[in-house]
Amino acid sequence: MGRIAVLDDNMVNMIAAGEVIERPASVVKELLENSIDAGAGRIVIDVEDGGRRLIRVVDDGGGMAADDLALAFEPHATSKLRTADDLLGIRTMGFRGEALASIGAVAKASVTSRTPDAIGAHRIEIDCGQKGPVVPCAGDTGTTIEVRNLFYKLPARRKFLRTANTEMNHIAEHFTRIALSHESLDLTLTHNNRQAHHLLSGQGLRERIGLLFGPQMADDLLETTRQERGMRLRALLGRPVGARSSGKYQYVFLNRRFIRDRFILHAVKEAYRGLIEPNKYPVVFLFIEMPPEDFDVNVHPTKVEVRFDNPNLVYSEVLALLRDKLLSTNLDVGACLPAPEVFVPSERFGHAESRDRQQRIERAMEDFFKTPQPASTQRSFDFKRSYSAGRSKTPPPHSVSGQTDSFGQSGSALQEDWKPRTYLQVDNSYLVVPDADGFMVIDQHALHERILYEQMCVRLREGRLPSQRLLMPHPFEATPAQADALEKHRDLIEKIGVEIEMFGPNTLAVQAFPMLLERVEPTAFVVELLDKLVEDEGHSNEERLLHEILDMAACKAAVKAGQPLSEAEIAHLLANKDVVQRTSRCPHGRPTTLVFSRKDLDKQFKRTGF
Ligand code: ADP
Ligand code: MG
């Protein structure tokens, strides 16, 4: 092999750029952080073609003097660190001195800057590492950085960039993170000369969240703070009914820096345990402040990960903050999100909840079998009547038993009320039904879900799901990512019978909705659907995505466990059960039906051999 050579600076920068500058959004993030470090109060970001053609960031911060400008594109040039000790208490967003050097190595860039006491501005240009001279020019106090034709000399990198819309979504995400953690900044973002956001300084956090994510989400957040053991915490929390199918709406900031920390997110999840399905993600905006000496941000090139000196303390403080708030709030009242639709099959509950449920079912079963049977049916138990145990309106078995004791007198009157049925509904969740050779226990939700799923598959084979125009469009606030997903997957969305149109800036509206999903609230469903498509980002093939959506739709449209059913509904379920019995699994892989044959019963009662 050849000899070892020391790489020249430009090569070093290009390699560093690979770590720091992944896509246009990384440029925006680094430039925004620099403007914040320079003490800016107002920042304007202009983007063209998703950042491929141009990214321009203009700030009114402290600027750079001419001699500093000459150094700005040098690797490891920073004004924010001097000694190794400084690394122990970072108070600025940047400190590595890598960003401008990296950007200058992979694009055509210019910096124009002026300090408050200078008589004019200065400007320097760089073109993929080729630096020009510092020249005087006109300009206001502050700094303007322009980055053009990112990666234009690196076709392999440029090829990796996605559509302008997708790149813009990534940029908007970084913009959002900065906006949420810097309430006092006046921030503007434009794309192709159209304004995407303008956030005024002095807006409250809730108002900002409303502008960025829609007023529905903002109005419904619970707010809480805590100051304990050297940490200051503030959180705005979504109610459990508003939990999402992805972690996209979980924002954690440490000293105003957006971080991803699995441990903290676990604490969040833990706080919501038992309140939401385990595969859902609560909406949360969490702000942590602590002395910079108590953690290390120098562990990741983009500083999105940090290392806490005492992670357990952080975990327990976050958990305490959230849990106290959730426990002290009546979560059923005041929710302005669509009607709660939390369906939670027992095994998806937290432990405490499922134990409670289990006990209720056991009690219901016990009560049922304790009930004295009228003389005629005492010998062979024959399902000729059903008792809905638990909280249903049907009289509970023991109150019936007092009257059946005087069988003969009041018995006949009672018979009329009873409307004999050939099944038993347990705890409004399970149906017990006799069959030729024993009986079966049906999970009403799982069976209904399965029936709907099959029905949708059948209809889809014939074309698209039949849909119904809504009397009035149902508008909802949409993020650019959601609008993007709509464009990209329009065929798929129309196939399942959903029609969505633009309704205004940042607003979409559901116009038509599948008939089979009549129980489902259209906007909540559509928002979740779009989130799912955003999250997927082209990883699954269309067919698989379609079936995942059918899954989700069936689960939402199906009757819930614990939901009282009318006789007609039960009859409908039982009539359709054979359709799906070939495969007695609900789409989530849970069984829909347990079968107890005479033989099984004999075996359980140790009668085998008799
Ligand atoms: P870092 O932010 O880690 O110091 P950068 O490469 O991002 O490294 O920036 C290098 C230096 O350029 C900064 O330390 C700062 O002194 C100067 N600088 C960059 N952007 C600005 C700006 N918008 N306003 C004033 N100074 C800036
Ligand atoms: Mg920087």
Secondary element (H or E) of residue 215: helix 215-219
> Are 164 and 28 in a shared domain?
yes
Asked if the structure places residue 41 within a domain, the reply is: yes
SS (HEC) of 517-557: HCCCCHHHHHHHHHHHHHHHCCCCCHHHHHHHHHHHHHHHH
Query: Per residue in 146-192, pLDDT tens?
Result: 999 999 988 888 888 888 989 999 999 999 999 999 999 999 999 99
Q: Which domain holds residue 93?
A: 9-202
Asked if residue 591 belongs to a domain, the reply is no
Task: Judge if 264 and 126 occupy the same domain.
Answer: no
Q: What is the mean pLDDT of the chain?
A: 80
Which one is predicted more confidently, 279 or 40?
Answer: 40
Of 288, 308, 327, the one marking the end of a domain is: 327
pLDDT value, residue 453: 85
pLDDT at 525 over 90: yes
State whether residue 467 is helix, strand or coil: strand
167 and 282 housed in the same domain: no
Examine residue 346 and state whether it is found in any structural domain, yes or no. Answer: no
**Minimum CA distance residue for ligand 1 atom 17:** 72
- The top-scoring range by mean pLDDT among 219-223, 387-391, 392-396, 433-437 is 219-223
Whether residue 97 is found in the same domain as residue 170: yes
The proportion of the chain whose per-residue pLDDT surpasses 70, expressed as a percent, equals 80
Q: What is the CA radius of gyration of the chain?
A: 31
What amino acid occupies position 384?
A: K
**128-133 LR contacts (CB < 8 Å, sep 24+):** 128/10, 128/104, 128/152, 128/153, 129/9, 129/10, 129/13, 129/14, 129/104, 129/105, 131/73, 131/104
Q: 184 and 219 share a domain?
A: no
**Distance from residue 123's CA to the centre of ligand 1 (Å):** 14
pLDDT confidence of residue 340: 30
CA 310 to chain CA centroid, Å, is: 28
CA–centroid distance, 430 to ligand 1, in Å, is: 65
* DSSP designation for 138: -
Position 580 scores a pLDDT of 65
**pLDDT score of 376 more than 50:** no
Is residue 261 one of the residues assigned to a domain?
yes
| Final residue in a domain of this structure, among 156, 182, 202 | 202
Cα distances (angstroms) measured from residue 524 to each of 30, 115, 245, 341, 509: 35, 50, 12, 9, 12
Residues 240 and 177 grouped into a single domain:
no
Which residue's CA lies nearest to atom 23 of ligand 1? 35
The yes-or-no verdict on residue 322 having pLDDT over 80 is yes
Task: Confirm whether 522 is domain-assigned.
Answer: no
**Hey, which of 44-58, 86-100, 535-549, 569-583 has the most confident mean pLDDT?**
44-58
| Same domain (yes/no): 158, 224 | no
For ligand 1, atom 19, name the residue with the nearest CA: 34
Q: Please list, in sequence order, all residues whose beta carbon lies within 8 angstroms of the beta carbon of residue 106, skipping any fewer than 6 positions away.
A: 14, 17, 21, 128, 150, 151, 153, 154, 157
181 with 240, same domain: the answer is no
- Asked if residue 232 and residue 157 are part of one domain, the reply reads no
| Ligand 2 centroid to residue 99 C-alpha, Å | 5
Question: Which CATH number covers residue 146?
Answer: 3.30.565.10
Greater confidence, 413 or 181? 181
Query: Which residues are bridge partners to 232 per DSSP?
Result: 227, 289
With cut-offs at 50, 70 and 90, classify the pLDDT of residue 388.
very low
CATH of residue 322's domain is 3.30.230.10
Q: Where a domain ends, among 202, 237, 264?
A: 202
Q: What is the pLDDT of residues 196-253, one digit of tens each?
A: 999 999 889 999 999 999 888 999 999 999 998 899 999 999 998 889 988 999 999 9
Confidence of residue 363 (pLDDT cuts 50, 70, 90): low
Residue 386 near ligand 1, beta carbon < 6 Å: no
Residues 148 and 195 in one domain: yes
The pLDDT, as a whole number, for residue 579 is 65
Q: Is 78 in the pocket of ligand 1 (CB under 6 A)?
A: yes
- What domain count does the chain have? 2
Residue 387 in this model has a pLDDT that exceeds 70: no
Top mutation candidate among 73, 78, 131, 147 for ligand 1, by most atoms within 8 Å of CB: 78
pTM: 0.60
Instruction: Report whether 520 contacts 553 (CB < 8 A).
Output: yes
At residue 347, does pLDDT exceed 50? no
* Residue 224, in any domain of the structure: yes
Same domain? 155 vs 218: no
In a domain, 364, yes or no: no
In this structure, are residues 169 and 136 in contact, taking their beta carbons and an 8 Å threshold? Answer: no
192, 77 Cβ separation under 8 angstroms? no
Per-residue pLDDT, 2: 66
Angle at 487 between CA 486 and CA 489, to 5 degrees: 65
Residues 177 and 279 in one domain: no
Residues 284-306 pLDDT 10s: 999 999 999 999 988 887 788 99
Q: What was the pLDDT predicted at 18?
A: 65
Whether 556 maps to a domain, the answer reads no
By the 8 A CB rule, do 426 and 571 touch? no
